[in-house]
Structure 1
Amino acid sequence: MKILAANRLTDGETVWLGAGDRWVETIDAAHVARDKEAEERLSAAGDAALAANLVLDVTLVDIDLSDGRVLPSRLRERIRAGGPSIHPDLGKQARNAAQHAA
C-alpha cells in the first residue's frame, strides 16, 4: 500500500494527496493506493500538481495500516508526518492528530 506525499510550494508544509485529488495536512486523510493501478493514478495526480507549481518533492510512500491509522514504513516519512524530531512543541507533532505518526 502506498500514499503520495509532497511539500506544498507556498509554505513547505508536508502534505498528502487525499480524496478528490486535494492536498491534505494530516497523513490519516491521505488516499491509500491498494494496487498498482491506484498507485499510477496517485503518481499522475502528483505529476500534475508538480507541473502546476502547487507542490514539490512528490513521492510515493510505502505504508502499513495499523488500527485504521496510516503508518509510513520508513523513518524519514514518519518524521515528515510528525514534524521536527527535536522540537515536539513545533510542527505537526504539536497537533493531536499527528502524534501517532512520529
Structure 2
Amino acid sequence: MARAFAPKVVTANDLLEGDVIYLTADDRWSRDLREAELITDEAHAQLRLLDAQRQVDKIVGAYLADAVAGENGPEPTHFREDFRRTGPSNYAHGKQETSPQPRA
C-alpha cells in the first residue's frame, strides 16, 4: 500500500547569494518559509518542482521538502529543513538575527 502524500514546499538555494529560498504560490522566490506555497497534491508538487528546476539562471538544487500548515504559514517537519531556514550556525548574523531559532 502506498504511503499518503505529505504536504510539501519547493525549496532551493539562490544561485548568486546561496541563501535558502522557497517558491511561493505567485511564482516568486522568498527567503521566508512562511511565504512558501504549501502543496498538498502530489502531481501539482511534481509540476511545481519541474518549473523550479528550469530556473537555472536563478536557483540551484531545487527539491520538495515536507512541511505542515502552521499558524503563520508552512512549517518544516524535519530538523534539517528547520536548520536550513536559519542559515549557517557559526555565529549569529544575517537572517539568524531576525529569524526564529530552530527548536531544541
Match among 27, 40, 59 for residue 21 of structure 1 = 27
What letter corresponds to residue 8 of structure 1 in structure 2?
D
* Unaligned residue ranges in structure 2 (runs of 5+): 1-6
Distance, in Å, in 1 between the alignment partners of 2:68 and 2:89 is 21
- Indicate whether 1:72 and 2:76 are aligned: yes
> Is the radius of gyration larger for structure 1 or structure 2?
2
| 1:67 Cα offset (Å) | 2.2
Question: Given residue 69 of structure 2, which amino acid in structure 1 is its aligned partner?
Answer: L
Distance 1:63 1:6 in 2: 15
Aligned position for 2:100: 99
**Deviation digits for residues 41-100 of structure 1 (CA, Å, limit 9, x no counterpart):** 2112212113xx21111110001223243221221111111122342x2232311xx316
Contact 1:82 / 1:91 at 8 angstroms: preserved in 2?
no
The runs of 4+ residues in structure 1 deviating greater than 4 Å are: none
For structure 1, the residue ranges without an aligned partner over 5 or more in a row are none
Percent identical among aligned pairs is 25
- Asked if the contact 1:21/1:45 (under 8 Å) is kept, the reply is no
Distance 1:70 1:43 in 2: 17
TM-score by structure 2 length?
Answer: 0.80
TM-score (norm 1): 0.82
Q: Which residue of 2 aligns with 1:90?
A: 93
